[in-house]
Amino acid sequence: MSFATDQQAGSAHLSANAQRMLGLRGAVFATWEARVRERVAQARNVQHPILIDTLPLFYENIVQSISPDYPRTSAVDGTTVAAEHGGERARITSYDHTALIEEYQIFRWAIFDVLHREQVVLDHREIHTIHSSIDSGIQEAVEAFSLVHSGFRERFAAALTHDMRGPLGATVTALELILRSNDLDQIKKVAGKALANTRRMSGMVDELLDTMAFHSGESIPLTITTFPMDELVAEVLADARTAHGSRFELHAHPVDGWWDRQVFRRAIENLVSNAVKYGAPATPISVKVDQLHERLLVSVHNDGPPIPPHEQECIFQMYRRAELAQRGDPQGWGIGLPYVRAVAESHGGSIGLDSNSDRGTTFFINIPIDGRPHAGSRTLVAGQAPGATTID
């Protein structure tokens, strides 16, 4: 299974040198990790899954980008993977800007050293693509690192009022019908709709409170248990097939780990719902579950219009969804993606995006297999106390 950010599997479209690079990724990361722990003081005591974070995805994007027949021009083309790396460094480690840049420089050195040692001869275009990808990755990672440390805040109240207007209006209408009706069967039917909309609003409020707490410097309160993530995703897709038909595909390897089952279920439901809303109708929606370097990878892919580069980061921001809806886009709860980000970051990981007209759109969650040591990780506002965390 591929770990690139666009969820594409196999190496049929990769050049010979790209396939060689793919086969050498283990050697590259072993070389990189040893050198980073030696040269970067802030990295010496960082656990392996935290140190490695999203770099394996970035590496496979580089592999794709050196292949002339593959629709990716650089490792950062249409994806937020480098920005998520910088965000994780700011939230979870004691890195500063110098350490972040130095580890990318070591990453560059590790790639070329291993390729030279294994006698992989690159042409000028391939060398330029690797350098350009890493330079762009440094820029995006540093920008995200700075954004987190600046205490970035988002507006919540507008999103709440905008997206609760629908279910609230439906509930009011239902109650008015009940007051005017003497038909017991109709009253029960309408009351059922009112109850469903009330529960929907209750779920929105729960997500809002969790996300507001997270972005004010707290983490989402987590109840950590061990469970198979592949089985949880299968449950979510079974419900999705009932509601939306048989267009959902699951490609899952068994992955047991320690996470909060309830909040993760809501996060995956949000990603699947997002794919239904914005993906091309009647096309497959593919969900993958796998693990790499002691980290869980869950991705949701759909075909359809790509997300423009200038919107790829801001869609994870509160209130942004309400602005899009006002321009005529499909209705939706304004904190869905910010909530998913909060869930991923509270588990010590991140959520990223890859979107392109040729590759479709993929959202990917990338977090440690064992969330227990990282629950309550430092969030967007440094220095504040984390939220409550329980472990069963």
pLDDT band, very low/low/confident/very high, at 153 (cuts 50, 70, 90): very low
Q: What percent of the chain has pLDDT over 90?
A: 48
Give the pLDDT mean for 131-138: 95
Give the pLDDT mean for 77-85: 91
Q: Which residue has the higher pLDDT, 112 or 170?
A: 112
Tell me the Cα Rg of the chain. 22
For 357, list phi and psi in degrees, rounded to 5: -65, -30
pLDDT of residue 216: 52
pTM value surpassing 0.75: no
Q: For residue 172, what are the CA distances in angstroms to 180, 189, 206, 359?
A: 13, 15, 21, 43
Total residues found in the chain within this entry? 392
For residue 386, pLDDT over 50 is answered with no
For residue 156, pLDDT over 60 is answered with no
Give the pLDDT mean for 344-371: 91
**H or E segment to which residue 237 belongs:** helix 229-244
289: β partners: 252, 298
